[in-house]
Amino acid sequence: MTTTNSINSNSQFETNIENSLLNKYGMNILNTPFVSDDDIQLGLGERYIIVEKLLEAHEFAKINVLAGNITGRGFATNVCTVDRAWSMGTNFNNTRNDISSICGERSAILASYNEALLRYSRRPRGKFDFKIKYLCMASNIDLEEITEMIAPCEDCLSWLNTNRYFNFNTLVFSFERIKGEFVVRASRLASFLPYKTYATSNEFDFNKEIRFSKNSQVSFVKFKLEPKDALNLLFEAYKKYDKNEFVGVSNQNIAAAIISNDEIYSSCKIDWTKRWHVEPLEEAASRAIEKFGKETQIKAIAYFGDEASANNGEIYNDGVVSIKSLGRIRQKYATNDTLLILNFHNYILITTIGEYLPKKFEQGYKIS
């Protein structure tokens, strides 16, 4: 295994290359392009380490499948912290349903956190500062067969859309093939989460400025809706939010309203315990699905949640839309064209699911 320090001298670099995974796979770092839509600068030594770590994760994902992982699919992630410690994790599935499944990247983050805490416990000086610098994601698919990049799923994105352990410098890497060429795709985590910095508001105002995204106009025409319908839907969500008496455990309140077919369904968050709750979007969507069955067409979603708060430089966006639920209903009943109405400070944003969660983050979606 290569570490940062070991590539400082040329002779050691050459020895490492000889024993490297790149060498094993007949790859040369000079012929392995890094591509990105973001502005990312990486030196040769750094790119070498990243490819090694991607290959290591690829082998780990393969082993996971060979060892009999229940889903028959293998993913693994190599995580690097800002203080240059690497940890690896693979998808963990102990039954076939999602409650007992954890993806490779979350598994790696947990491994990394536990190892960092263990290091800290041996030398507890200063503040424990755990931040993720890189996520190197790979699957068990043979390198020759790889086409699309691997992107975090919406469950993982809902983890990553937080500020404590990730920041705007966190980078995500994956192999990809573009027009026959095998490349490494580099992305800034922040570009996966375009509205990460937007602060939600808990005040409803019909006279607030409305901002329309590029694609929202097309969706209004497609679904035969008007901006006033969007505003009314947000008001329905607000009413549920305002009257919600079921969040006395977490004290984190959210409500959602949807237009499905031609009816409005709204729901508020219901707490079971401090961490476990009924998610209002999924609840509202379920009621529509029960009524309209396969004909269910979710045209618009409005979210209304708590005010964003800050503490010691960390932002808590407790009232933000659930990426996890959006990802789920986008698979069926809603589409990327579905309107999404969000209540921020000073303005209301009318966008679409596809713009909020860009297509490239759908699993298996090819980047255009």
Binding site for Zn ion (CB under 5 A): 103, 153, 155-156
Contact present, 146 and 182 (Cβ < 8 Å): yes
Q: Are strands 181-188 and 34-35 parallel, antiparallel or unpaired?
A: parallel
- Which residues, including other chains, have CB under 8 Å from residue 1's CB and lie 6 or more apart? 52, 56, 86
Residue placing its CB nearer to Zn ion in the complex, 103 or 308: 103
Least Å distance, CB 100 to Zn ion, is 14
Least Å distance, CB 79 to Zn ion, is 14
Least Å distance, CB 252 to Zn ion, is 23
Contact present, 50 and 134 (Cβ < 8 Å): yes
Residue placing its CB nearer to Zn ion in the complex, 323 or 334: 323
Residue placing its CB nearer to Zn ion in the complex, 23 or 363: 363
Residue placing its CB nearer to Zn ion in the complex, 156 or 255: 156
Least Å distance, CB 103 to Zn ion, is 3
Least Å distance, CB 343 to Zn ion, is 28
The DSSP bridge partners found for residue 139 are 75
| CA 71-324-315 angle, 5° bins | 130
Nearest one of 90, 78, 193, 89 to 133, comparing CA atoms: 78
Residue placing its CB nearer to Zn ion in the complex, 155 or 236: 155
Q: Tell me the C-alpha distance between 335 and 352, whole Å.
A: 9
CB neighbourhood size of 14 (10 A): 10
What is the sign, positive or negative, of the torsion defined by CA atoms of 209, 212, 216, 221? Answer: positive
Closest residue to Zn ion, based on beta-carbon distance? 103
Residue placing its CB nearer to Zn ion in the complex, 109 or 190: 109
Q: Tell me the C-alpha distance between 200 and 198, whole Å.
A: 6
Least Å distance, CB 243 to Zn ion, is 34
Q: Tell me the C-alpha distance between 334 and 54, whole Å.
A: 34
